[in-house]
Amino acid sequence: GEDGLNSTSTGLAALALAIGGHDAEAAQARDWVLALQDACDTDTPGAIPFRPGDSDDDRGVEVMSTSQALLGLAGPGLAYLDAGTASGADPVTGCDDDPSGDFGDAAEAAATYLVGELADGSHLVVQDFPSDGATIDVLFALAAVEQGGDTIDTIFAWLSDRAAGYTQGAGFDADDAAYAGATAKLALAAIVAGQDPRGVGGIDLIAQLEARETTELPEVTLSCEVEEAAPGDEVSCTIAGLLGGETVDVLVELDATLLDEAVTADSSGSAAFVFTVPEDATEEDEATITVAGLGVEALADLGVAIAATPVSDEPDETDDTEDVEETEETDPVDEATDDQDVLPETGDQLSLAAGMGVASLLFGLVLVAVSRRRREVEHA
């Protein structure tokens, strides 16, 4: 909407927050989406409008907003969806048991609405046209609530028949056309449906993705200005090689948590943070830095050792008489070493779980579903 609030973005944000471990924020986002959901006493129980205040005249895309917002209500990330756990029966709203407006399960009610909107029980029609992408969202939604296994099979059969048109623009575009986003989304749908993505409608979707132009991402590194720090010291660290504007979580622990915050890279892909070593830290301690992002925990760990607490020199006893004949000269370098903590200036760089950039974020989810999480980003 004009104020930027909509159920699609909020629902997907709830999913991302839950994956990242931000449970309170995820619950807040889910509650906002649930407040929009049509109740049992409406004409479209279970539906989730795109934005607050949508009237009956401008809700033509609510099938799309419902399917995408539902993922935030259901919980599991796309990489973990598995239609093999879905029962064959379609979901039900529970409105027959409680017509007053309360659902037994909000996510299941949304899935029930979507199934009821399928044309021929196989696909969605958006603005008078069959929509492959929106139909895949319904497949994901049903897998998320573990219902409608038979409908998932029907949906995937319809998608398979249209694979060439959806991923290659067959019949309209050049013979060598291929679209990374559509290919990746259909490949993920195949994996969720328990089908082989290398043979969907006669197309090897994985090979088609791999043939798309990709860009190798720079190596992501974590470094601190020192390898060893004394109690009370401030330690500055830098993460380099991120995407411009990418946000990662930084956790610094030494018995207690010293720092727990998200940091965002600048346009060059660098992000900086600072933490302070507690005054009561000892040589037996070590500050452990953990960086995580993109829904993946523990992308990197780095330790900063704790130096011994500096010990000041005892003052020399001097004679108050003025007949002191010699004064020992002190080498300036030695003096600096004795009176100051001289710390290494450069910490070891630690490589994060950097990977190859791929044609799209969905391609990353395809690979994640096969071999669990890799750091992949969209580049189409």
Task: Identify the weakest region by mean pLDDT among 51-60, 146-155, 240-249, 289-298.
Answer: 51-60
pLDDT at 94: 74
**Model-level pTM?**
0.59
pLDDT tens digits for range 190-203: 999 999 999 999 99
Partner residues linked to 129 by β-bridges = 126
Mean pLDDT, the chain, integer: 78
pLDDT tens digits for range 207-246: 998 887 666 766 778 899 999 999 999 999 999 888 888 8
Q: What are the backbone angles phi and psi of residue 240, rounded to the nearest 5°?
A: -125, 155
- Residue 303: pLDDT band with limits 50, 70, 90: confident
pLDDT tens digits for range 105-128: 888 999 999 999 999 999 999 888
Quick one: which of 23, 81, 73, 83 has its CA closest to 48? 73
Residue 59 pLDDT exceeds 70: no
Task: Pick the more confident residue, 213 or 95.
Answer: 95
Residue 186 pLDDT exceeds 90: yes
Residue 369 pLDDT exceeds 70: no
Task: Identify the weakest region by mean pLDDT among 56-65, 269-278, 355-364.
Answer: 355-364
Q: CB–CB of 274/304 below 8 Å? A: no
Determine the 3-state secondary structure of 103 from DSSP: coil
Quick one: which of 273, 215, 214, 216 has its CA closest to 240? 273
Residue 318 pLDDT exceeds 70: no
Quick one: which of 147, 152, 214 has its CA closest to 183? 214
Radius of gyration of the chain (CA): 29
For the chain, first and last CA: distance in Å?
A: 27
